[in-house]
């Protein structure tokens, strides 16, 4: 059975293909180099079909992640509800809705050059399926939280066996995702991209705006919530907040203005309020469902600090968070729902790796470099590991391009930039000279799963870097460049079974330094998607302050590259 899942036309478009037990998936932005690319994922679809060695005519079903007519109905209803304020917004947006957004199947069928059987899966149902079906749980509570699907912004339900059902929801415009995006906007960051910056900035402030932010949202005893829409405008225009909100808190920070303590304090307040809202939802869900395990998806599921709070205080024994928690993961969720629920096929094996994208052979990488007359060394695997570990121990920053590309926004050892976490200056070095981004941005850590408990206070695995753990007090001075101001760290636990080469590199670095932990950040520059191809990796390497580049067992150092020019 071959099922193609597609998410498109809003943001983070992606495609996923189920071909029997094999799964392929990729985000469109990685191919087009347009971050959060909202277009039809032509390149991602082509990749999936090419990897499976099939053509469009051989697909059994194409599953689309959303029901566009339901979303159009909600859009029109909102515009009428907020008329006349929404008139300008309605006039600009309606032609787009009546075009490609209403009939994605026509565009997809045209690209596949065949008449396909299509199934429309609801937005939050796609999120739910993407989290529950790949989990290892026989049954679990399910939570989906994002900006908005067709009409809902938050849904809860239960997955059992081959079935996942959502039974409660909060309707737009009441949205935790939009609330957090509004705070992102007020802080001068780009909506749908800068929310992670707010999460990082929060640790630098104190929640000093509780009184003001408390006026914006009401938490109810049943786990629902409501926004005071007098302070927001996202339901009637492209502007996120109303003048009333800027008067209540402060005027929006322009992107070129410095970040002041008040901005840090608002970020801390927004993060705290979000966490409290999520804890309210999940504790109610735990009590109501009677389930011991929880699956999470939706864009808000990418807030790793909140995920850590849910694990610690939500009442569940274990949680699984879809690594492509945002809309890109809906492509996989739509395909899984169609397979398990609509076609009655058994659930897939539990997801232990998100390495579902393109890989490149060592020989093709070598030929690519030879054509460009770039000097490189071709090493054996053991020599690659020892060489890279030594460079990292010597405080060199290394681009690590290995195997299949990750699916979702986290770099997990396939397309990563690695550095020495022991050096207290490394955080500033990588932020300023490699990533060219704000100095407050924190970094994640990769650690062998078998020694993770020695460094982090945690009780569950974190293979997808979706949880924040407390760093043990006695270890904080050992890994200062990945220990955040509040003593926490976003953590990836690595097993030999899932990634033998990256696991071996961590152990080799530990043998040299006594600390088997690496600073791991995504292989990209500020404002760009994570690299996909050797060409992307080389460009990023040459345009940044990285010292070395390891693509499979091919090794390049900046000094030898510079001497050739």
Query: What structural domains and CATH numbers belong to the chain?
Result: 2-65+67-120+327-342 (3.30.420.40), 170-321 (3.30.420.40), 362-563 (3.90.870.20)
Is residue 458 part of the annotated active site? The answer reads no
69 CB-near residues (< 8 Å, 6+ apart):
102
Q: For residues 307 and 84, what is the distance between their CA atoms, to the nearest angstrom?
A: 40
Which pLDDT score is estimated for 562? 44
Looking at the predicted structure, is the pLDDT value of residue 564 above 50? no
Which pLDDT score is estimated for 388? 98
- Name the pairing type of β-strands 118-120 and 61-64: parallel
Q: For residues 314 and 158, what is the distance between their CA atoms, to the nearest angstrom?
A: 16
Grade residue 239 by pLDDT with cuts at 50, 70 and 90: confident
Mean predicted confidence (pLDDT) in 28-51: 96
- Name the pairing type of β-strands 467-471 and 488-494: antiparallel
The CA-to-CA distance between both ends of the chain, in Å, stands at 52
Among candidate residues 532, 193, 127, 165, the one with its CA nearest the CA of residue 331: 127
Q: Are 548 and 399 in contact (CB under 8 A)?
A: yes
Q: Quick: pLDDT tens for 448-498.
A: 999 999 999 976 899 999 999 999 999 999 999 999 999 999 999 999 999
Looking at the predicted structure, is the pLDDT value of residue 50 above 70? yes
Q: Quick: pLDDT tens for 56-112.
A: 889 999 999 988 767 766 777 777 788 777 767 777 777 666 666 666 777 888 888
Which pLDDT score is estimated for 72? 67
Looking at the predicted structure, is the pLDDT value of residue 311 above 80? yes
Catalytic annotation, pick one of 11, 123, 204, 484: 11
Looking at the predicted structure, is the pLDDT value of residue 560 above 90? no
Six token digits for residue 250: 């402060």
**What does pTM read for this prediction?**
0.94
């Amino acid at each position: 059975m071959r099922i193609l899942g597609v998410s498109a036309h809003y943001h983070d478009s992606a495609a996923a293909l189920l071909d029997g037990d094999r799964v392929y998936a990729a985000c469109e932005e990685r191919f087009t180099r347009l971050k959060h690319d909202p277009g039809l994922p032509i390149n991602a679809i082509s990749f999936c079909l090419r990897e499976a060695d099939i053509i469009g005519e051989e697909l059994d079903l194409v599953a689309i992640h959303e029901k566009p007519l339901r979303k159009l109905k909600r859009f029109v209803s909102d515009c009428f509800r907020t008329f006349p304020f929404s008139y300008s917004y309605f006039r600009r947006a309606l032609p787009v809705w009546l075009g490609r957004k209403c009939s994605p199947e026509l565009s997809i069928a045209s690209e596949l050059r065949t008449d396909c059987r299509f199934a429309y899966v609801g937005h939050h149902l796609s999120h739910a399926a993407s989290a529950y079906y790949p989990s290892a749980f026989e049954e679990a509570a399910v939570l989906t939280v994002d900006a908005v699907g067709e009409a809902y912004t938050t849904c809860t339900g239960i997955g059992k066996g081959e079935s996942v059902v959502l039974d409660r929801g909060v309707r737009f415009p009441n949205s935790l995702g939009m609330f957090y995006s509004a705070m992102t906007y007020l802080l001068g960051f780009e909506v749908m991209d800068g929310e992670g910056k707010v999460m990082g900035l929060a640790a630098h402030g104190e929640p000093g705006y509780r009184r003001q932010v408390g006026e914006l949202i009401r938490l109810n005893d049943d786990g629902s919530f409501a926004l005071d829409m007098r302070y927001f405008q996202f339901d009637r225009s492209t502007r996120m907040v109303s003048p009333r909100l800027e008067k209540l808190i402060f005027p929006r920070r322009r992107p070129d203005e410095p970040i002041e303590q008040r901005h840090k304090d608002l970020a801390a307040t927004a993060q705290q309020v979000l966490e409290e809202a999520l804890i309210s939802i999940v504790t109610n869900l735990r009590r109501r469902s009677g389930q011991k395990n929880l699956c999470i998806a939706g864009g808000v599921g990418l807030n790793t600090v909140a995920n850590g709070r849910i694990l610690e205080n939500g009442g569940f024994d274990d949680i699984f968070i879809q690594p492509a928690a945002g809309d890109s993961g809906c492509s996989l969720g739509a395909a899984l729902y169609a397979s398990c629920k609509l076609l009655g096929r058994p659930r897939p094996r539990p997801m232990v790796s998100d390495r579902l994208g393109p890989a490149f052979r060592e020989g093709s990488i070598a030929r690519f470099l030879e054509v460009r007359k770039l000097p490189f060394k071709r090493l054996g695997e053991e020599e690659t590991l020892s060489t890279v570990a030594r460079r990292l121990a010597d405080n060199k920053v290394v681009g690590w391009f290995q195997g299949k590309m990750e699916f979702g926004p986290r770099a997990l050892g396939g397309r990563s930039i690695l550095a020495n976490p022991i050096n207290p200056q490394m955080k500033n070095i990588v932020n300023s000279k490699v990533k060219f981004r704000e100095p407050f941005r924190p970094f994640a850590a990769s650690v062998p799963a078998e020694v993770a408990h020695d460094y982090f206070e945690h009780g569950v695995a974190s293979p997808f870097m979706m949880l924040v753990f407390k760093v043990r007090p006695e270890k904080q001075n050992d890994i200062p460049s990945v220990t955040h101001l509040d003593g926490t760290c976003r953590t990836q636990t690595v097993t030999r079974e899932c990634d033998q080469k990256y696991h071996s590199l961590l152990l080799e670095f530990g043998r040299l330094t006594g600390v088997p932990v690496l600073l791991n950040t995504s292989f990209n520059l500020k404002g760009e998607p994570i690299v996909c191809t050797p060409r992307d990796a080389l460009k990023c390497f040459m345009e940044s302050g990285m010292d070395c580049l390891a693509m499979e067992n091919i090794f390049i150092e900046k000094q030898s590259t510079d001497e050739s020019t």
